[in-house]
Amino acid sequence: MEHLDIHIAYQRLAYEELAEADRALVDRAKEATFTSYAPYSRFSVGAAALLDTGETVCGSNQENAATPNGICAERTALSYIGAAYPQSAVKTLAIAARDSSGQFTERPIPPCGMCRQVLAETEQRHDTTMRVLLYGTSGTYVIEGVSSLLPFSFDGTFL
């Protein structure tokens, strides 16, 4: 038997330590939380994607009483990008959330498993590395590639 470990490298930076472009993207993700439709969970998530064209596309979670019919902020943004900007790669994706009291979360909010899979496929689709910024008031995690969020990801090479 062989015992193996997976280690990921990431940075935790205070908002003020982020590069200006990263702060701007985090701010767009925070603004996107205010377009969220979250009457059931009262957990509002926003995502902002910086494309290789320099454009920024935002998304927010949209809930539904039939829970599986809702869509997360990350998939809202990435689905729109796939439809409207199919040739554009996502350079950086920022994610922020507000809790049921309306305050931004203290801990950085990670994407759910379904969103991680979509992030991995988006990265593979354009054969590029997507940076991910996970915002929290206590600090922002800077992750240099989706494989750190989803090791052993399933992709089209298995089909």
Each residue's pLDDT tens digit, 47-86: 999 999 999 999 999 999 998 899 999 999 999 999 999 9
Confidence of residue 151 (pLDDT cuts 50, 70, 90): confident
Active-site residue identified among 17, 74, 121, 144:
74
**Percentage of residues in the chain having pLDDT higher than 90:** 89
17 is catalytic: no
Residue 156: pLDDT over 80: no
φ and ψ of 75, to 5 deg:
-70, -30
pLDDT for 159 equals 81
Q: Read out DSSP for 127-138?
A: TSPPEEEEEETT
Each residue's pLDDT tens digit, 26-46: 999 999 999 999 999 999 999
CA-based nearest residue to 94, from 61, 50, 127, 138? 50
| Whole-model pTM over 0.85 | yes
Residue 158: pLDDT over 90: no
Separation of alpha carbons 99 and 105, rounded Å = 6
φ and ψ of 154, to 5 deg:
-90, 130
Each residue's pLDDT tens digit, 74-130: 999 999 999 999 999 999 999 999 999 999 999 999 999 999 999 999 999 999 999
Separation of alpha carbons 72 and 44, rounded Å = 10
pLDDT for 91 equals 98
* Average confidence score pLDDT of the chain: 95
pLDDT for 60 equals 98
Fold of 11-91+111-125+132-150: Cytidine Deaminase; domain 2 (3.40.140)
Domain chopping of the chain, boundaries: 11-91+111-125+132-150
**73 near 93, Cβ under 8 Å?**
no
